[in-house]
Amino acid sequence: MLRAKNRLGLIFFPAFDWAISPTHPEREERLLYTQDQVFEEGIADVEGIKFYNPGMATEKDVQRVHFCVPDVMSRVTESHLISAGGAIKAAEVVMEKDVDKAFAIVRPPGHHAQRVVFGDRGFCIINIEAVMLENVRQRFGNRRIAIVDTDCHHGDGTQDIYWNDKDTLYISFHQDGRTLYPGTGFLDEFGGPAAMGYNINIPLPPETGEEGFLYVLDNLVIPILEEYKPELVVNSAGQDNHYTDPITNMNFTAHGYAELNHRLNPDIAILEGGYSIEGALPYVNLGIILAMAGLDYSHVMEPDYDPKKLKQSFRITEYIKGLCEKIYERWRRKEDISRETLKGREYVTRARNVYYDTDGIMEEQVQKFKVCSHCSGLNTIHSRSDRGYEIFAVSIPRDACQACIDEGYKIYKEIPTGKYYKIYLQDRVNDVYMSQG
Amino acid sequence: MIVGLDMGGTHVDACLIDRGNIVEQAKTPTDRSDLFGSIWKTLDDLLLGKDFSNLERINLSTTVSTNAIIEGKTTPVGMIIESGPGLDPSFLACGQENVFISGYIDHRGREIKSVAPEEIEEAAARFRKKGIKACAVAAKFSVRNPMHETKIKEILKDEFFPVTMGHALSGKLNFPRRVFTSYLNSAVYQVFKAFCESLRQALAKKEINAPVNVLKADGGTVSLDAAEKYPVYTILSGPAASLMGSCAFNPADKDAVFLDIGGTTTDISFVADGVPLFEPLGISIGNLKTLIRSVYNVSIGLGGDSAVSVENGEIKIGPRREGFPMAMGGPVPTPSDAMIVLGLLDFGQKDQAISAMKKIGEQLGVDARAAAQAIYEKMGEIIKQKVDSLLADINSRPVYTVKELLYRKRLKPEYVSIIGGPARAMAPVLEKKFQLPCRVPKHFEVANAVGAALAKTTAEITLLADTAKGTLSAPEIGLYEKIDRNFTLEMARRKALELLQQRASMLGAEGSEMEAEITEESSFNMVRGFYTSGKNIRIRAQIKPGLLYELRGVDYA
Ligand SMILES: [Zn+2]
Ligand SMILES: [Zn+2]
Ligand SMILES: [Zn+2]
């Protein structure tokens, strides 16, 4: 029998009894053909590959990351907690050294879920990677972590959650926001005052192919990771860059995803989007599994794979080269940029409108970050949805200094009751979460 | 009257059962060079002076196929492997000649690349050159569409025999196991066929007309004719015989642990609501994993004759056996010696057992009796710990729906059934460790023969209806046909049960013993674009293993 070079944990949970709605892309059928392929290949018989059931994330796991309005349990379903629980399981078996690597093939996805949650955005309610990572940090101590997001959409949720966190480097590959939902993910979205430069967006032109993705990986992502030296690399493994995906415009392949995974060599991969359920997912997931296990993936190929048709144009190749140079240059200059931007400022604010496409909700939000020389800085969120709910959230970061902790509690206590629909306090130092209203 | 016969590594045991009572038993040593002869001699002894006209059936658990595989006395097989995209298929080369061909069928059973007849001709030429007669064909996703395997068999069948097709053996998805199972079926075909022929001749000579069935690893039977066609179904039926036999003496509807404690090993199995727990996919033989459904059975190197030693002040038992217990003149202390000292077993020279325990006692700083007690306790402890860890594995087998994850049944044994030489002696300590009632059947020495005798035909069917594509497949009976767009889950259920009856009849079941049930079903809405294009309906149905009768008689309960 085959033996995996890397011991690999698989959390394969297709949630065959859950859908957003019967014809929604996020429906029961989504991982059916992937399961067929994984079963037919006999993956479970490969020595060194082990299947695990997901656990269930707790309310507290979610509160470490999100401010759910009105509360966690009214926003999420069991399926969301299981999806996040699957991600947590993946991290757990890696951290406990039961396996070398783990891949959670779970649904629904999470990378569009931001800090404040009024509803479902881009099929996501809670950010399963972030819920996983904060659970890991709580149980196994703080870790320096890099998230490489290879979903075709900008992971605006993950960006938001780790905006001001230097210990979490977020790098997102995605189709240029001018041409695709959610319309964000540009170069100047560069991180908050405590983590400037640690949010890296790589907006790629439509029709980017294998050549382009691997170029970005080799010439930009890997060099940055070598400098950052993460203790843990997570691949947010969305599969909608595939050439058959119905809702995007890229030309990536199953072999390309496997190759990318092989070169990136993540500790943990978590499925995100990807809705070509027959033509892409069975092959892409298989490719990633084989690459992570250190097995030969050269025979993984889609039925209609045609390298000539998928060849990237010269124009795109040149554009990507220029883009990588620009992004790398900004990464190199991040300290200077940070110094210039923050000079003499006590606070930095970030005001945005957030649209919840799946639920049709519009949110207006202002985040306010304290520039603190001792820690990442206390920060607050003032937010209002077009359904008339107005909330205020106080967040004490993991590395908060005593002054920031005290200030956080003071603000939380001094807000007059009744002023907001809900007031939240997120104390990451003491792992304490409260709300009123 | 029913004859049950179990061929083990050392003995052939047989019993004659009349309306729930064991009326006769026979036992002969196994002659490995003449397996048929050993069986026939045992049958002959058993039936001596009996009236054959009352025989309802003869059920055999044989090691004919198993031994051929383990001893390498199989026929060379030419393999045709259609692997499609996926894993590097080179590890699947299990035949004497292996030809990888380029056609392929995808996960929905669509033909992506057709079979190239010239590749098959070339394979045939290679087999011919090597003088290979037996072939097997296995294609990826052939259970979704058997067309390629059938086509290839058509090309080969005039020149080669047998030509096993993967889809006919099991409807489960797992291409590597399909390859190995197909290979094994062709590899043991001749050996098993010769056995069938000898048996038929011998029965005819004695004018015995009773139908003959062969036990399968899942605790069910197949008719001799079906077994001849699919001899791979008869491998490794021993643990199933033992488990079914034990079941016959125990309550029929509870969760339980079943232990078979021998000289060298202890076999551990489970029943859930009285039905044997299966391996998730199939049994392994040698280094080949198969799709042959089998009872879950884990063997640990711990038995009455296991070597006992003391390492760093701790008692160690097994996994090796060095020989007989010292009470029987063996070289090292064993758990049997301990149980003799404690008065739980009575054989051999007690004084030698005592000196064995003294030896252990010296290293532990205690007397012989205390050493014996410690070994006895330790043996119970090892078994308990192993059972607990197996239960933890079983209860965390992967599930795929929210409902199963949250509300699935967990196996929770209510009693322990023990058979084997030290069964009665071990019952008290196991009762203490497990905190569960322990049951020891009275006639456990013929449990395997009883299991074979009372087993019924089992069968499975896998049905997939894809209404978007307009096809229905049921690989185990080679069915692949067109269906209407309006085919429903209810229609699929009915169809599956009907096909299951067909399959069971093919395997030798008689109408009265068929208790069909649907074990899995799902129906997926298939959506392409924003519209429903059809339904993907999947059903698995089975006739589960069961017993013709239950027997009475448990003497430790
Ligand atoms: Zn992305
Ligand atoms: Zn996406
Ligand atoms: Zn501070």
CATH number of the domain at A181, please: 3.40.800.20
Compute the average pLDDT of residues B172-182. 98
Ligand located closest to A407 CA: 3
Size (chain A), residues: 437
pLDDT band at residue A392 using 50, 70 and 90 as cut-offs: very high
pLDDT above 90 covers a percentage of chain A that reads 98
A72-79, long-range: CB < 8 A, 24+ apart: A75/A117, A75/A119, A75/A125, A75/A126, A76/A125, A76/A126, A77/A18, A78/B402, A78/B406, A79/A15, A79/A18, A79/A107, A79/A108, A79/B402
- How many angstroms separate the CA atoms of B349 and B330, rounded? 11
Specify the number of domains making up chain A: 2
**List of chain B residues whose C-beta atoms are within 8 Å of the C-beta of residue A287:** none
SS3 B493: helix
Whether B552 shows a pLDDT value over 80: the answer reads no
Domain encompassing residue A388: 344-436
**Burial environment of residue A419 by CB neighbours within 10 A (0 to 12, 13 to 18, 19 or more):** exposed
Residues A113 and A210 occupy one common structural domain: yes
Asked if A414 reaches chain B (Cβ–Cβ under 8 Å), the answer is no
Answer yes or no: do A376 and A308 share one domain: no
pLDDT digits (tens, 9 = 90+) for B273-285: 999 999 999 999 9
Unique residue bearing structure tokens 């690459």: A291
Question: Is the pLDDT assigned to residue B314 strictly greater than 70?
Answer: yes
pLDDT number for residue B222: 95
A224 domain-assigned: yes
Instruction: Record the pTM.
Output: 0.95
Chain B residues near residue A298 by CB distance under 8 angstroms = 88
Same domain, A325 and A357: no
- The whole-number average pLDDT for the span A148-161 is 98
Among A271, A305, A334, give the residue marking a domain's end: A334
**Domain check: are A14 and A128 in the same one?**
yes
CA dist., res. A132 & res. A387, Å (int): 30
Which of B86, B91, B525 is closest, CB to CB, to A286?
B86
Q: Which residue has the tokens 């889609």?
A: A302
A257 and A349 fall within a common domain: no
Average pLDDT over residues B293-318: 95
User: Vertex B27, ends B21 and B32: CA angle to 5°?
Assistant: 140
- The band of B20, judged by pLDDT with boundaries at 50, 70 and 90, is confident
Are residues A187 and A275 both part of a single domain? yes
DSSP annotation of B48: T
Residue located via tokens 């009632």: B437
Asked if residue A152 lies in contact with residue A241, where contact means CB atoms within 8 angstroms, the answer is yes
Q: Which of B153, B137, B155 is nearest to B101 (CA)?
A: B137
Residues of chain A found within 8 Å of residue B140, distances taken between Cβ atoms = 40
Token duo for residue B457: 């035909």
**Where is the domain boundary, A287, A307, A334?**
A334
Residue A112 designated active-site: yes
ipTM surpasses 0.90: yes
Q: Is the peptide bond before B319 cis (omega within 30 degrees of 0)?
A: yes
CA distance B67 to B62: 9
Shared domain for A292 and A412, answered yes or no, is no
Q: Inform me whether the pLDDT recorded for B553 exceeds 80.
A: no
DSSP structure class, residue B85: S
Q: How far does residue B173's CA lie from ligand 1's centre (Å)?
A: 33
Spatial neighbors of A226 by CB under 8 A, at least 6 apart, are none
With CA atoms as reference, the chain B residue closest to A46 would be B176
How sure is the predictor about A437, in pLDDT bands with cuts at 50, 70 and 90? confident
Beta bridge partners of B214: B60, B222
| Mean predicted confidence (pLDDT) in A28-41 | 97
Sheet holding A3-13, edge to edge: A47-52, A3-13, A101-106, A268-271, A232-237, A145-149, A168-175, A199-204
Residue position matching structure tokens 């002894």: B45
pLDDT at residue B555 is higher than 60? no
From A80, A112, A154, A174, the catalytic residue: A112
Quickly count: other Cβ atoms within 10 Å of residue A396's Cβ: 26
- Report long-range pairs for B26-33 (Cβ below 8 Å, ≥24 apart): B32/B67
pLDDT band at B81 (very low <50, low <70, confident <90, very high): very high
Confidence of residue A89 (pLDDT cuts 50, 70, 90): very high
A193 and A316 both lie in a single domain: yes
Residues A215-236 have a mean pLDDT of 98
pLDDT above 60 (res B121)? yes
* Residues of chain A neighbouring B87 (CB-CB closer than 8 A): 2, 41-42, 290, 295-296, 299
| Cα separation values, B53 from B1, B2, B47, Å | 9, 11, 11
**Separation of A395 CA from ligand 3 center, angstroms?**
12
In a domain, A187, yes or no: yes
Residue B498, φ and ψ in degrees, nearest 5: -65, -45
Q: Is residue A104 part of a domain?
A: yes
- Same-domain check for residues A308 and A387: no
- 3-class SS at A71? coil
d(CA A77, CA B268): 40
Minimum CA–CA partner of B140 in chain A? A40
Q: Which ligand has its closest atom nearest to the C-alpha of A164?
A: 3
Q: What is the pLDDT of residue B51?
A: 86
The whole-chain average pLDDT of chain A stands at: 97
- SS3 call for B137: strand
From chain B, which residues contact A within 8 Å (Cβ)?
83, 85-89, 91, 104, 106-108, 112, 140-141, 144, 172-177, 280-281, 287, 289, 396, 398-403, 405-406, 522, 524-527, 529-532, 536
What pLDDT is recorded for position B556?
59
Maximum pairwise Cα distance, chain B: 84
- CA dist A89 and A82 (Å) reads 10
In terms of C-beta density within 10 A (0-12 exposed, 13-18 middle, 19 or more buried), how is residue B205 classed?
Answer: exposed
Question: Domain boundary at A334, A361, A388, which?
Answer: A334
Could B107 and A282 be called an inter-chain contact, meaning their C-beta atoms sit closer than 8 Å?
A: yes
Q: Looking at beta carbons, which residues of chain B come within 8 Å of A33?
A: 107-108
Question: CA of A253 to nearest chain B CA: how many angstroms apart?
Answer: 14
The stretch B157-179 carries a mean pLDDT of 97
Same domain, A44 and A115: yes
Residues A350, A241, single domain; the answer is: no
Beta strand pairing status for A361-370 and A347-356?
Answer: antiparallel
**B246 pLDDT higher than 60:** yes
How would DSSP label each residue in B410-478?
----SEEEEESTTHHHHHHHHHHHHTS-EEEETTGGGHHHHHHHHB-B-EEEEEEEETTTTEEEEGGGT
The pLDDT, as a whole number, for residue B512 is 62
Here the tokens at position B451 are 């299991």
Looking at the structure, tell me whether residues A261 and A389 fall in a common domain. Answer: no
Q: What is the pLDDT, as a whole number, of residue A1?
A: 77
Phi and psi for A385 in degrees, rounded to 5? Answer: -100, 160
Q: Report the sign of the C-alpha dihedral through residues B115, B537, A38, A255, in that order.
A: positive
pLDDT tens-digit series, residues B429-453: 999 999 999 999 988 888 999 999 9
Distance CA A103, CA A38 (A): 13
Cα→Cα distances B392→B278, B322, B389, B397, B409, Å: 15, 32, 5, 9, 13
In this predicted structure, the answer to whether residue B311 has a pLDDT above a threshold of 60 is: yes
Tell me what the mean pLDDT of segment B370-393 comes to: 97
- Residue B140: what are its φ and ψ, rounded to 5°? -65, 135
A339 lies in some domain? no
The one-letter code for the residue type at A50 is K
For position B546, what pLDDT does the model report? 87
Among candidates A392, A8, A381, A13, which has minimal Cα distance to A161?
Answer: A381
The residue with tokens 């107005």 is: A390
Residues of A (51-110) whose Cβ lies below 8 Å from B: 51-54, 78-79, 82
Q: Poorest-confidence range of A160-174, A178-192, A387-401, B23-37?
A: B23-37
For residue A164, the model assigns a pLDDT of 98
Would residue A386 count as lying in a domain?
Answer: yes
A59 SS3 class: helix
Q: How many Cβ atoms sit within 10 Å of the Cβ of residue B491?
A: 15
Strands (E), A272-428: 347-356, 361-370, 379-385, 390-396, 422-427
What are the tens digits of pLDDT across the range A43-71?
999 999 999 999 999 999 999 999 999 99
The predicted pLDDT at position B549 comes to 78
